[in-house]
Structure 1
Amino acid sequence: MKKKVELLAPVGSFESLKAAVQNGANAVYLGGTIFSARASAANFDKENLIEAVKYSHIRNCKVFVTVNTLIKESEKEEFVEYIKFLYEANVDALILQDIGMAKSIRERWPNFEIHASTQMVAHSLKDAKFLEDMGFSRVVLARELNIEEISYIVKNTNVDIEVFVHGALCVGYSGQCLMSTSIGTRSGNRGRCAQPCRKKYKLYDSEEKEYINTKGEYLLSPRDLNSIENVEELIKSGIYSFKIEGRMKKPEYVATVVNRYRKAMDSSINNSNYPIVQKDIDDLFSIFNRKFTQGYLFNKCGADIMNADKPNNRGLYIGKALIYDNKRKRLKIKLEKDLNKGDGLNIGGGDVGRIIDGKNIKTSARAGQTIEIDFPRYIKSGTDIYKTNDSELLNEARKTYQEGKELIKIPLDAKIDVNLNKKAKLIFRDNENIGQAISKSVVEKAIKVELSSEKLLSQISKLGNTPFEIDNINIELDKGVSMPISQINEMRRVAIEELYKEKIKIKRKHVYDKFIEYKNDLNRELIDNKNIVICKEDNKENILSVSCWTIDQLKASLDLDLDNIYFREPSLLIQALNLFKVYKEKNKIHSKFIIYLPRIVRNENTYVYSLLDNLRYEYMDLIDGFRVSNYGQIKYFKDNFRGKNLYISSWLNILNSESIAFYKELGAKNICISQEASANQISMLKDKDKLEYIVYGNTEMMISEYCPMGVLTKLCKKDKRDSKCNKSIYSLESEDGQKFRLKQDENCRTTIYAQECVNLIEDIKYLNNMGISNYEISLSFESYNESYDILALYKNFIDDELKNSKKVINNDKYNKLNIDIQLKKLTTKYNKIYNSGHLYKEID
């Protein structure tokens, strides 16, 4: 039995749509002019989108629309109206990021298929199963997973799994990157990433106070993914959808990449052993690449993933410069690949004109030849030459989507009944749809020439430049009858038109029942569990929480008896709990200890869950609850620790009241809203009970599987980590001089921190007046003394200004002047640069 797999193509324009469909895509994904994660692509307005659906469905190609941005409270009504339009336009599925809006869609349109975008950071089986329970029929896995992890997820879940197989890579986990927002106001979660990863950086060693000598300056720029030679392995892994990246690429790119993957996939599916010839590989290099990698899919890492040389198209290597003749302005090249007139080269000078072979002027040359080209300036001998524009390849690609050209032909079964004194009837049928037509007049007895089966077959088969061809025809024809050829042709035209109409309509499946069952089951559990109360309104108490990584930071928090302590470092968890136990018994503190689960817990990171399972008996009484950072952790919490409180971290990207309501239904004790939420957006939220906001901390701009310290310092060994990494002494320095500190965990996963520290001490009252009563201080590199000073400043202010209770460290009135004095002391003492984050900024 042939295995069903899907080739999914990116579409940024109508030309790209035609290129994808005509070259064999089973489905396309595209964005409208709003709520799309590629806001700078051409995208489709409503009229074009309707036409795109018609064009695709007629040719058996599905259309998925990306609405995979976080939705602001002020946009909810417009978003819902847009989804209604997409539903009525017969769009096959939506690709979503916002969990609250996904829930809303599920309830309004229970049979509208939804896919979990890679922005939802699904990177484990637990993530996939949670999203399956939510009613998602497909999960787009994080690009960081390898084929073994993907295969494990496929085998243990019922959702379709979609995986990126070709195109640009993000250096950080999608949906977890705040770098573009932190540096400016353009949010990747809102589809407007400014691509800071493609900029120049230096690596700085703060211990040695020197810059590391690196090869290349684009230290965060990944290569492009290319899996063309691994298609068979990917199919065997059980992946359903093979996703090509590139909604901002030209239609020639879409045509070329889709065409080559179509050949490779068909060969594997049909066991036809179509060879992946070198030309196919060369064509993928020629059409666009930033160097290629097999990526994390096949366990590549470090230097095998990155391209520090240049962040844009590298092209296809075609040979080296031999000699430059300055007098005649000619460059001699020894070709290792073909070259044609009109090709573009990485050395500039415009497109290739004449190709000079001795005394002959040619329009093309082949690999192995030594030729000359006209060139305006000196090029050093030995320079590598790359073809960045292949005129022949581009022309070939354009021909596939020219107006009126149909390369994909859908086989039809046809049946025509021509019976005397009755109207003739014609039916066209594909796998699912029927188009039929009836003649205008009844069939008459032939006067001169009777109608033959051969003539009927000839006329019915004239489908011309439609996307159909007759595969099988059943003719029922009475002897000695006749009918006008014009009527036969008209029946053929009408039947095709009717078939078009049927194919455009979507046959939606009802997928809501499982979600209803899951939701009701969850609510029963929560109601039965006396320790968790759904959406309980209580008197608003101002809560100060701290998230910390080190034992020193924990000590400072305990010394000040803060309300909630979110402890983040798994390797220190036992030590932290023992310390907390001592404080609890001796100092009678009131602090609550909450385990802050890691942002990324992949299938192989079972040590985290094993650690928690081992804590169950000895330490569980000390633990108030768990703070989750991804969807899989919610499932883990639900399945294992129903008696504990659930806390939602900011990494679940909450920006609207629908998402807040979703987590309240799950019984969340408190909910930290997105760090990208501004004061204006917060003010629009209807229910702010249980909401928390980060008021202090160096923003974690990016989390990445790539470790620049290990790769660029060349100290890292595969069997031994760079010992310096534990010290967190490295920084990336941007072109404008900002230093972004780097921190590595035990999995060699790197977090990049913002240089400036968000500090909203002066805005606490403002937040409080808006209804926010829970405040988080997020520590990162702070020592005990620095942690204590920061925490004490906030605790004093909240106690004095909001709680009117006893202060901790001095008797000074904490008015604005005193706050300014304290901040200046901190700035001087700890060399911090403070800002107000995005509280007063509107992100795009």
Structure 2
Amino acid sequence: MKEVELLAPVGSFESLKAAVQNGANAVYLGGKDFSARASANNFDREELREAIKYAHIRGVRVFVTTNTLIKQNELKDFIEYVKFLYDINIDALILQDIGAAMTIKKILPDFELHASTQMVAHSLEDVKYLESIGFDRVVLARELNVEEIKHICDNTNVDIEVFVHGALCVCYSGQCLMSSMIGNRSGNRGRCAQPCRQRYTMIDINTGEEVSSEGDYLLSTRDLNAIEEINQIIDAGVHSLKIEGRMKKPEYVATVIGSYRDAVDDYLRSKKVNVSHDIIADLYTIFNRKFTKGLLLGDVGKDVMNSQVPNNQGLYIGKVVDYNKKAKRLKIALEENLKKGDGINLGGGVIGRIIKGNEITDIGYKGETIEIDFIGEARRNQMIFKTSDTQLMDKVQSTFKQDKELVKSYIDGEISLKLGRNPIIKFKDLKGNKAEIIGDFIIEKALKVPMSEEKIETQLRKLGNTPYQLRDLKIDLDDNISLPISVINQIRRECIDKLSEERIEIKDRKYKDEKVSYSPQRAIRLKDKNLRVKVKNLEQLREVVNFEIDAIYYEDASTIEDAITIGKENNKKVIYSAPRIIRNKEYNRLNKIKELNEESIQIGTLGSIDFFKNKNFCIDYYLNTFNSETINHFKEEGATTVCISQELNMNEIEETLIYTDLDVESVVYGFAPMMISEYCPMGVIVRNCKKDKRCKECSEGRYALKDFKGEEYRLSQDIFCRTTIYNSKPTCVLDNLEELNNIGVNIFRLDFTRESTSEIREVLEAYIEVINNNFRLGDKSNRLYKKLDQEGITTSHFYKGVE
């Protein structure tokens, strides 16, 4: 089994110290550029150099998050930044953009690459594909359970990293457009506005009635906490245990890393999980939105969600017994300890004195009933949570604020003390780094008391507040010699400093200090304009086959053979559109698709590239094609068309398409899918469903989420019982098709989801009219445009883009 790595989030230098001094084996952090947490402090270039020195000296690896999608006009600067990271000894890059990753692999082939969870690796097929193109590590989607993870670990050689603690996304990471579609802030660009933490109500589309629920935050997840079953994750073969939280304070990092360090070490030593009550209490106190074991360990539905509180809840400590408003006294029955200086969720501020009858004290213990001074509102039996703990803060702050070296690395030493020669001292660490110092002093014969081995060893073991502990020591000592203690101390210090410098450098980098450049090749695009549509069922298909279109993408696997027959009868090409999420066993349900004689398929997962390798494939926008490097990578893999990301604007699309000659399509009509989730709001809220079974309520698509502005986001489910949340307004660019055509898009795509056959007919007639009329609007297109404009439409990101 591979060595288990505990990986810590770092948003500041204090957090770096907190992580390292509490036992992290590696840290991940962001620079000021291309980081998926743009609102974190992040590190400038000089701070990155210092972070590397601090971590590497202490034996901790550093990974930099460059896990955003890269625009065409950013590629040159991105490569320059990556080369800087390579030269300053960053251990690995965490990436989302596959085109950027392939560019790095060409120019810096020995740079370690990690596939971010934003790359949506959720199956063995996905992982094996990423391994085949050069990734050294894959961060799995947070939706996978331990059985699926074990299957992946058992069947691949790449390192596997899994989130074990912290915030969860309700949507598959890398598949969320909700923040960008609603507020122009893209999660794919590190600027998620967290729309999942906002209030929503669920409504029945048919009746307009609101469905009652236990809370208002219908998309807000609990926080993951896997510490009590960390053995299952380790035994599954996971190499890296990842803690979420680059936006969190250093106290959070220290608490969580210290807790998991103890739990992991205890399990590796004793093969038993032994997590104390105090550790659990600390984790609740430092931050939680209620805890869940997550889909990782079998929690589903309601057990993963927290519709009541979208922010920190704290540690439950007891209930209100009584509140004397006149005396300003709150009586509490304690179920956990409460101390002076602690904070609670009532009234704000911190606890002053604690009153027990006539006694004033600083602490109340579990099982006691106490009183505190209180101004505010409280009701009998109200639950009270501790949101800060002075003792915990003092304990964890002492690990990083006092510059104490709490975690030591073993080193071995040698010293040679020969009469008439200079003293020679050598240190080496367990990773092969070596340092040697020859002292200036000439060793003399002792006049009185000769130097002893015991005295030399005592001095050499005085490593004090360094990050080292001397393990083995060899002493080559002549008899009856003399050497000042100050000389031994000096050469020891110098050798330690030299060893530290050696530990900073990564030794086997082949391309250090070499210049690298990025210069894409322009391509000639001579393409005919085509119209394609995507439909969900046979009813929609029967309507669209009557129109002049190039191809039809069809989503329903259960009726695909009927769909192909209908297509052939009407001389239309029907292409199966595979799901955007296909977990390990779910590929079995697609075997019949692979065996069909049809030559083409549309795919939205990386694993599908090899799974459907006997077919021509079209890349859907789910794979986040953001630049020409990504388009051309998919072309090299055999793609016949690529659908461009829906987050690019006109200028960015034009800049991108200059450098590729592949057929490129763009969605010019449709309700954009903004989220895909394992969580089913319909099932949980309507009937507390916990089964992986598509029920009537869900399959009918009769529910929507309504936000505070009154916008309604329709919900639907796929064949694997996953929920898709659609935009409230359709994208419509009827009057912008000419501009799209002029910048190089040669396939216009209409995505039909909830439209009736009459609505489909209306949309198709309008778009065909515009295309056939040399991009001028006619009667049908004008009529549709006015109708949709009144109901509410969006031009998506075609004219605004994302930051």
Q: Decide: shared fold, TM above 0.5.
A: yes
- Secondary structure of the corresponding residue to residue 346 of structure 2: coil
**Quick one: distance in 2 between partners of 1:510 and 1:565?**
49
1:611 aligns with 2:592: yes
| Displacement after TM superposition at 1:561 (Å) | 3.5
Give 1:441 shift: 2.5
What is the identity, as a one-letter code, of the residue corresponding to 2:479? Answer: K
User: Does residue 1:564 correspond to 2:563, yes or no?
Assistant: no
Hey, what does 2:683 align to over in structure 1?
Answer: 710
Residue 631 of structure 1: aligned partner: 606
Query: In structure 2, how many angstroms separate the alpha carbons of the residues matched to 1:753 and 1:716?
Result: 21
Asked whether the equivalents of residues 2 and 239 of structure 2 are also in contact (C-alpha less than 8 Å), the reply is no
8 Å contact 2:30–2:65 — kept in the other structure? yes
Matched, 1:840 2:802: no
Aligned equivalents of 1:717 and 1:342: distance in 2?
42
Q: Is 2:633 aligned against 1:662?
A: yes
Give the 3-state SS of the residue equivalent to 1:605 in structure 2: helix
- Once residues 825 and 293 of structure 1 are traced to their aligned partners in structure 2, the CA distance between those partners, rounded to angstroms, is 46
Check the 8 A contact 2:165/2:225 in 1, yes or no.
Answer: yes
Alignment check: 8 A CA contact 2:228 2:273 kept:
no
| Alignment of 1:725 onto 2:698 | yes
Structure 1 match to 2:659: 687
Match status 1:582 vs 2:569? yes
State the 1:668 CA deviation: 1.6
Show the counterpart of 1:809: none
Change (3 A) 1:717 1:244: closer
For residues 787 and 472 of structure 2, what CA distance do their matches in structure 1 show?
86
* Distance in 2, Cα, partners of 1:701 & 1:719: 22
What is the deviation of 1:556?
A: 2.0
Letter in 2 for 1:833: G
| 1:357 to partner: Cα distance | 1.3
Number of the residue aligned with 2:784: 822
- The answer for the alignment partner of 1:280 in structure 2 is 279
For the residues of structure 1 that align with 2:157 and 2:134, how far apart are their CA atoms? 11
Preserved contact between residue 669 and residue 731 of structure 2 (Cα < 8 Å): yes
Pair 1:675 & 2:675 matched: no
Query: Matched residue of 1:713: which SS?
Result: helix
1:395–1:717 CA distance, 2 compared to 1 (3 A): closer
Rate the CA distance shift 1:509–1:124 in 2: closer, same or farther, 3 A. farther
Residue 767 of structure 1 pairs with residue 740 of structure 2: yes
Q: 1:232 to 1:658 in 2, by over 3 A?
A: same
User: How many residue pairs end up in the alignment?
Assistant: 790
CA distance in 2 between counterparts of 1:752 and 1:346 reads 33
**Aligned with 2:773: secondary structure?**
helix
**Can you list the C-alpha shifts for 1:203-244, whole angstroms capped at 9, x where unaligned?**
000112200011000000000000010111111110110000
Partner amino acid for 1:66? Answer: T
Does residue 31 in structure 1 map to residue 6 in structure 2?
Answer: no
SS at match of 1:270: helix
Query: Hey, what's the Cα distance between the residues in 1 that align with 2:315 and 2:494?
Result: 49
2: CA distance between counterparts of 1:280 and 1:258? 11
Letter of the 1:625 partner, please give it: S
In the TM superposition, residue 826 of structure 1 has moved relative to its aligned partner by: 5.4
Corresponding residue number in structure 1 for 2:388:
389
1:165, 1:225 within 8 Å by CA — same for their partners in 2? yes
Contact 2:769/2:777 (<8 A) preserved? no
CA shift digits 1:437-485 (9 cap, x unpaired): 1111321112233211122112111111001111121111101111222
Q: Structure 2 counterpart of 1:758, which letter?
A: T
Q: Distance in 2 between matches of 1:251 and 1:402?
A: 10
Instruction: State how far apart, in whole Å, the 2-side matches of 1:127 and 1:472 are.
Output: 46
Q: Deviations over 1:181-208 (max 9, x none)?
A: 1101100000000000000000000112
Counterpart check, 1:480 vs 2:480 = yes
In the TM superposition, what are the counterparts of 1:138-177 in structure 2 within 5 Å? 138-177=137-176
Secondary structure (helix, strand or coil) at the match of 2:801 reads coil
SS in 2 for 1:670: strand
Q: Structure 1 residue 259 and structure 2 residue 258: aligned?
A: yes
Distance 1:561 1:104, change over 3 A: same
Alignment check: 8 A CA contact 1:30 1:43 kept: yes
Deviation at 1:637, TM superposition (A): 2.1
> What are structure 2's unaligned runs of at least 5 residues?
512-521
Distance 2:677 2:116 in 1: 18
Within-5 A mapping of 1:803-822: 814-815=776-777, 819-822=781-784
Partner SS for 1:276 = coil
Offset at 1:540? 1.2
**Matching of residues 29-178 of structure 1 within 5 Å:** 29-178=28-177
Q: In 1, distance between residues paired with 2:777 and 2:238?
A: 60
- How far apart, in 2, do the equivalents of 1:52 and 1:495 lie? 22
Amino acid at match of 1:598: P
Counterpart-to-counterpart distance in 1, 2:510 and 2:543: 54
User: What whole-Å deviation, never above 9, does each CA across 1:649-687 have from its counterpart, x for those lacking one?
Assistant: 111101111111111212221111100010121121223
Residue deviations 1:319-357 (CA, integer Å, cap 9, x gap): 000011122201010100011111111112411111111
Seen in structure 2, the aligned counterparts of structure 1 residues 719 and 87 have a Cα distance that, compared at 3 Å, is: closer
- Paired with 1:240 and 1:222, the residues of 2 have a C-alpha distance of 26
Q: Report deviation, 1:822.
A: 3.3
Deviation per residue, 1:717-760 (Å, 9 max, x gap): 63864312221110000011100000012322100000011001
Secondary structure of the residue that 1:427 maps to in structure 2? strand
State how far apart, in whole Å, the 2-side matches of 1:267 and 1:717 are: 34
Q: Is the 8 A contact 2:353 2:360 kept in 1?
A: yes
Matched, 1:459 2:434: no
In the alignment, residue 636 of structure 1 is paired with which amino acid?
Answer: F
- Worse-matched range after superposition: 264-273 or 597-606: 264-273
Shift of 1:715: 6.2
Distance 1:594 1:818, change over 3 A: closer
Residue 769 of structure 2 contacts residue 778 of structure 2 at CA under 8 Å; is this kept in 1? Answer: no
In the alignment, is the contact (CA less than 8 A) between 2:683 and 2:697 conserved in 1? no
Deviation per CA, 1:555-593: give whole Å up to 9, x if none.
22210031011111212212212222322xxxxx2x322
Equivalence for 1:440: 440
Distance 1:594 1:445, change over 3 A: same
Task: Indicate the SS of the match to 1:834.
Answer: coil
Name the structure 1 match of 2:363. Answer: 364
Query: Residues of 2 paired with 1:581 and 1:799: CA distance?
Result: 24
Report deviation, 1:269.
1.0
Distance 1:71 1:827, change over 3 A: closer
Displacement of 1:705 after TM fit? 0.3
Whole-Å separation in 2 of the counterparts to 1:229 and 1:541 = 59
CA contact (8 A) 2:231 2:273 kept: no
Paired position in structure 1 for 2:616: 645
Q: Work out which of the residue numbers 549, 557, 573 in structure 2 matches 1:592.
A: 573
Contact 1:110–1:510, Cα closer than 8 Å, also in 2: no
Structure 1 partner of 2:429? 430
* Alpha-carbon shift at residue 3 of structure 1 (Å): 5.2
Q: Residue in 1 aligned with 2:722? A: 749
Q: Aligned partners of 1:14, 1:35: CA distance in 2, in Å?
A: 19
Distance 1:747 1:362 in 2: 58
Which whole-Å deviations, capped at 9, do the CAs of 1:12-49 have from their partners, x for residues lacking one?
00010000000100000000011000111111111111
Say whether the 8 Å CA contact 2:340–2:350 is kept in structure 1.
Answer: yes
AA aligned opposite 1:462? K
Q: CA deviation at 1:688?
A: 5.0
Contact 1:543 1:774 in 2 (8 A): yes
Q: Which amino acid aligns with 1:597?
A: A
What's the CA shift for 1:709?
0.3
- Aligned partner of 2:334 in structure 1 is 335
**Within 5 A, what are the aligned runs for 1:16-27?**
16-27=15-26
| Cα pair 2:144 2:295 within 8 Å, conserved | yes
Aligned to 2:542: 555
Aligned pairs for 1:791-802 (under 5 A) are 791-801=764-774
Match for 1:489: what amino acid? N
List gaps (5 residues or longer) in structure 1: 512-534, 584-588, 803-813
Aligned-partner residue type, residue 669 of structure 1: T
